[in-house]
Structures are given as C-alpha cells and as structure tokens.
Chain A
Amino acid sequence: MAADDFIANKWTQLAGLKNGPVSAESYRSPAFYQLERERVFGRSWLIMGRVEEIAKPHSFMVKEIEICEASVLITRDGEGRVQAFHNVCSHRHNLLVSEPQGCSQLIRCPYHGWAYGTDGELRGVPDEKCFVGLDRKTAGLAKIATEVWNGWIFINLERKPSVSLEDFLGDFGSFLANMEYPNADNPIVVEAQLDCNWKVVADAFSESYHIPVIHPETIGTTFASTSNRTGRLMDARFFGPHRFCSMYGNPDYRPHDHQKVEQLAYSQVQTGSTIAAGKVGSMDAFLAHPSVNPTRTKSWSMDVNFVFPNFNLDTGPGGFWTHHFWPTSYHTTRHEVRFYVPKALTVRERFQQEHYLSRVIEVLVEDVSNVARVQRGLESGAKDAMFLQDNEALLRHSVHHVEKWAKSATVQEAMSE
C-alpha cells in the first residue's frame, strides 16, 4: 500500500463531530474536575477488573477510586456471587480491608473487630449486648451496584444507577460481546503515578500519530513503515460515549542483526508478533472474533477499545491488555496497566516474557515521561485550544463526551444522541 491509501479524513465525521480546535479547559480546570467527580465517575459504569482476580469462593479484592474518595471491596461469596461493597465498616466507618486482595470467610474490622461475611452480612459484633437496638440485618456492608459482563466486573457509584449497564454499553456491548480472553487469569500488573490530567495519558494511548516520534527505537518501526510513516489509523468506530480504533502494524518488522538478545528471546518461542507474549495456536478463538482486527489486514499492530470513561481494552496478535486511567486530582493520575500472558512452562518461554515485559515497559516509559510536559504546557495557559487531526478523532470524541456528561444534569441527557 502507498502512504496516501491511508488518508481517510472521515473518522471525525464518523464520530459525528466537526473539525476545528478543541478546548483545553477540561484538561486543566479544577472546577471541571469537580464536575467529572460527580457527573462522569460518579454516574458511569466503571470496569474494576476481571472475575478471574477473585476466582475462589470467599476471595476478595480492594480497588480505590480516588476521584470519588471511594474504597471498593469486591467479593465472591460462598455461592460464587460477585458483589461490590464500600470497604467501610458499619460501626465507625473505618476502612475495613487494607490488603489489596485476600480470601477468608470472615472479614474482620481491624478497629473493634466487627466481622462480615463475603456476602456483606454482619456476622459478629464484640460485646453486642451493649449495642442497644442494633439490628444486624440493617448493619451489613453498603452495597454498590455491580454487574458482571463477559467476565468484566462493572460497578456504578450511584445508589440507584440512572442507566442499566446494557444501555450504557449500547452497541459497544454487541461489538465486544463474546470475546475470548486468553490468559485472563495471569496478568502482569504495572502502575505509574503521573503528573498529568487523566485524559492526557488516556489520549497517549488512543492515537498512533505520536508513535514514530516518541517511540522511534522501541516500536517506531513496528507501528509505521515507508507505506504509513505517521501511523494513520486502519479503522475507527464510535458507539455513544465509547470508541474503537485499529492501528497499523508493519508486517515486515524483524529484529536487526545487532539485536542478539531480542533474536535469542524470540528464537524458540512462537508468539503472534515480534512484541507479544501470547503463544500462537492458543489465540485462535480470540483472533477469530469479528471485532479483533476487524479489517482483517496483515498490516495490523493493535486495536483500542475505549470503554467510557477511563478504560482501554487493547487487543493485538499476542492477546489482550488493559489500561485504567484513574484521576487522583485535576493534574495527577494513577495509571494501571495489565498485560495478560500465558504461564511460562519452560525457561525459554520465561526469558521471552522477561524481554517482552522489558520492552513494553520502555514503551510505557516513553509515553508517561512525556505526559507531565503536556500538562505543564496546558497549565501554562499559553493556548486556549488544541489542534487535532483526523487520526486523533478518538481524542476529540473523548473530550466531547466527557464535556457532555459534565454539562448534563441527568444521565439520560448525557447519553442522548
């Protein structure tokens, strides 16, 4: 293909948006952040993780949603049901569980020893006789609306969600439904505390225009080539507040002669691409899904499935990986990444995974080392607006929908066409 075969100049139009400058305010305004707290994160369905993280009965995990000051305890009870609760003891509101995960039939508060079952019921109160009129039935843990969809655990912090998960996902649910998730039980977990607004880092993982420039040595030659020098998109689709794009990959990429360690790492392990850890063969059902590489091109590196507001489900020839962009203030973010890899069975597979992880961490470091510079530029107030090109349509779509949710008094209004 020649370079101009990739010029579409239609993604922005497909997103239902107009070209032109985009306001920078939502990236730097403390007042806007308060609206995001109440109206975006406070009302959206949020992906907290996968069911495999709490596979056994009575296992649980704790997740923080800093922007909403919520500590969320997600349990699997003895019957196998998955439910989220506020991680708050009913007695004096002490945070109940302090470790990130555990497995126990009883969860005991470290302050006065109140004990709860993994179903959230209050099971034990030391010196209960002195609590006059205490009704255990009304003193269980505070439930949070929870849905499990294709193995993803969603919660909604509204006491009574304004929108069902099905309606929230809309056509994006149909697009992603029934995807296989290879190695879902074996994530590598990575975290970075970043000095930027959460959308600055989310943007960095929603376009491939930056890849040949920021990542010239790590992945510049895998995401671009002489036929697509600037990482133009292969496909983009928009589903209400959610979005998708498919990125170009150079099918001719091979390690250079001097890259002896890279050659050794990949020499006896069959992975789906040069930067992947999944095993060929185990990926067939996953790769056959119509929404994984939907254009069915050989020149494919990865797809981004952006679940509004803050979650990326990425797919590539070697499997899937995820990003969570958790705001911690209007200009700081906790960025969580999970790479799902097969369990290494041999020394060579394990060495290949180490090389793979080393390389993807370098890519992440290239991205996240730049975001603080963007934030400083934004906060300098030098400019009122950003110029976005057609292949950055996902960013334009993101700002549009975050602003729409922030402006809308009701979720119905935010979700309206």
Chain B
Amino acid sequence: MNNSLLPAAFADLEAHVAEWALPSFDARMQHRAASSMDNIRRFYDAMQPRAEAALAHLENFPLDVLPAAEQRLMHMLYALAQAAMAVEIHGQPKVGHAKLPIAVRVLREPLPV
C-alpha cells in the first residue's frame, strides 16, 4: 500500500497538499481569497511550472475514478486556477472591494468534482 499524498513524480509538491488540495470549489476559492499574497504566490510558483506535467500524468487515468493520489493532484490543479485569479488577474488575493467570506457559493460544481 502506497501512502504517498501525491503520485511519485510530484512528491516535491506534497508540502502544499494540506493547504491547497481542498475538495470543493468553495473551499478553494474562500481559502485563496482569505490568504496573503505571499502565501498564494508560494503555491503558484511551485505548482504553475508543474501544471503541464500534472495534466499529462492525469490523462493516463479515467477522469471520473481517479486514484486518491491523482485526485489530490487534480485538486491542486483546481487550486492553481484559484491562485491564478490572484496572481494573473487581480494582483491581490481577492476582488478589492469584496468582503470575507465571499458571498457567492457554488451549489453544483462542474463534474467530476
């Protein structure tokens, strides 16, 4: 039994799993919005250069039944999309005039989650 949090080739990203491999859109969005820019940037700088390799790795598995380690890697990619909102669009953790927690909730996410 392999207890690795992420697929072996992505072991260097394991330090980010607990914070960013969150299982729902709202959890990832709220976490990013409430984080400091330095924190978001650390995750973005680690994950962004590995994103293409992560997608290529995940393409070897059926999308709707990913093994646990691959599922976490997928959630890290989703979290990267969130981090990109801060880094690539706003230049700050969230919409400047938005209050925390963010008032918008996603009741049904894109599938599979």
Chain A residues engaging chain B, CB cutoff 8 angstroms: 186-194, 217-218, 256, 258-262, 264-265, 277, 341, 343-348, 350-351, 353-355, 357-359, 361-362, 364-366, 368-370, 373
Q: Is the CB of A369 within 8 A of B111?
A: no
Measured CB to CB, the closest approach of chain A to B67, in angstroms, equals 13
Which are the 5 A-B pairs with shortest beta-carbon distances? Answer: A261-B84, A189-B108, A369-B98, A353-B110, A355-B81
Residues of A within 8 A of B95 (CB): 362, 365-366, 369
Report A-chain residues with C-beta under 8 Å of the C-beta of B87. 261
Residues of the B chain whose Cβ atoms lie less than 8 Å from the Cβ of A260: 48, 84, 88
Query: What are 14 residue pairs bridging A and B, where the CB atoms are less than 8 Å apart in the complex?
Result: A189-B107, A190-B107, A191-B104, A191-B105, A218-B89, A261-B88, A262-B84, A264-B52, A341-B110, A353-B110, A354-B81, A357-B106, A368-B104, A369-B103
- Also in contact, A217 and B84, with CB within 8 A (given A261-B48, A365-B104): no
Question: Which B residues between 73 and 94 are near A, CB-CB below 8 angstroms?
Answer: 74, 77-78, 80-85, 87-91, 94
The chain B residues found within 8 Å of chain A, CB to CB, are: 25, 29, 44, 48, 51-52, 55, 58-59, 61, 63, 74, 77-78, 80-85, 87-91, 94-95, 97-99, 102-112
CB nearest to A277 among chain B residues: B110
> With A188-B109, A189-B106, A192-B103 given, is the CB distance from A365 to B59 under 8 Å?
no
User: In the complex, what distance in Å separates the CA atom of A186 from the CA atom of B111?
Assistant: 9
Enumerate chain A residues within 8 angstroms of B59, measured Cβ to Cβ: 346-348
Q: Which of A345, A346, A350, A362 contacts B110 (CB 8 A)?
A: A350
State the Cβ distance, A358 to closest chain B Cβ, in Å.
5
Supposing A261-B84, A348-B55, A359-B89 touch, asked if A354 and B106 sit within 8 A by C-beta, the answer is no
Kindly state the separation between the CA atoms of A258 and B41 in the bound complex, as whole angstroms.
13
Q: Are A344 and B107 in contact (CB under 8 A)?
A: no
Q: A347-B74, A350-B112 are in contact. Are A370 and B97 (CB under 8 A)?
A: yes
For the complex formed, measure the closest distance between the CB of A417 and the CB atoms of chain B, giving whole angstroms: 39
Task: Using known A-B contacts A187-B108, A353-B110, determine if residue A261 contacts B81 with beta carbons closer than 8 Å.
Answer: yes
Give chain B nearest CB distance to A204 CB in angstroms.
13
**Nearest chain A CB to B8 CB, angstrom units:** 18
- Decide if B63 touches A358 in the complex (CB within 8 Å): no
- Which B residues are CB-close (under 8 A) to A186? 111
Residues of chain B within 8 A of A256, CB atoms compared: 88
Least Cβ–Cβ distance between B29 and chain A, in angstroms: 6
Given contacts A188-B106, A347-B63, A348-B55, 9 further A-B contacts (CB under 8 A): A187-B108, A188-B109, A189-B108, A217-B91, A344-B111, A347-B74, A348-B59, A365-B98, A373-B97
Distance in Å from the Cβ of A57 to the closest Cβ of chain B?
Answer: 22
- Beta-carbon contact of B63 and A350 below 8 Å: yes
Residue of chain A at shortest CB distance from B97: A369
Bound-complex Cα distance A222 to B58 (A)? 32
Contact residues in B for A368 (Cβ distance below 8 Å): 103-104
B105 and A355 contacting across the interface, CB-CB below 8 Å:
no
Best-buried of A218, A259, A355, A358 by chain B (most CB within 10 Å) = A358
Asked whether, in the complex, the Cβ of A262 is within 8 Å of the Cβ of B88, the reply is yes
- By a CB distance below 8 angstroms, the chain B residues around A354 are 25, 77-78, 81, 110
Query: Distance (Å) between the CB of A80 and the closest chain B CB?
Result: 24
Listed residue (A189, A218, A347) with the most chain B CB atoms within 10 angstroms of its CB: A347
Return chain B residues, CB-CB under 8 Å to A343. Answer: 111
A345 near B63 (CB under 8 angstroms)? yes
Query: Which residue of A259, A345, A369 contacts B84 across the interface (Cβ within 8 Å)?
Result: A259
Residues in B whose Cβ lies below 8 Å from that of A193: 103
Closest chain A residue to B33 by CB distance?
A: A365
- The answer to whether A261 and B80 touch across the interface, beta carbons within 8 angstroms, is yes
Q: Is the CB of A188 within 8 A of B110?
A: yes
- Please determine whether A258 and B105 come into contact, CB atoms closer than 8 angstroms: no
Look across to chain A and name the residue whose beta carbon is closest to the beta carbon of B52: A264
Name the B residues within 8 Å of A258 (CB-CB): 88
Task: Report the nearest B residue to A193, measured CB to CB.
Answer: B103
CB distance B77 to A351 under 8 Å?
yes
- Alpha-carbon separation in the docked complex, A345 to B29 (Å): 24
Cross-chain contact of B104 among A190, A217, A262 (Cβ < 8 A): A190
Chain A residues in 8 Å Cβ range of B55: 264, 347-348, 351
Q: Please tell me if the beta carbons of A351 and B85 are within 8 angstroms of each other in the complex.
A: no
- CB <8 Å contact, B99 and A358: no
Q: Which residues from B are CB-within-8-Å of A347? A: 55, 58-59, 61, 63, 74
Among A193, A364, A365, A366, residue most surrounded by chain B Cβ atoms (within 10 Å):
A365
Q: How far is A67 from B112 in the complex, measured between Cα atoms in Å? A: 35
Cβ contact within 8 Å between B94 and A365: yes
Q: Is the CB of B85 within 8 A of A362?
A: yes
Are the CB atoms of B84 and A365 closer together than 8 Å?
no
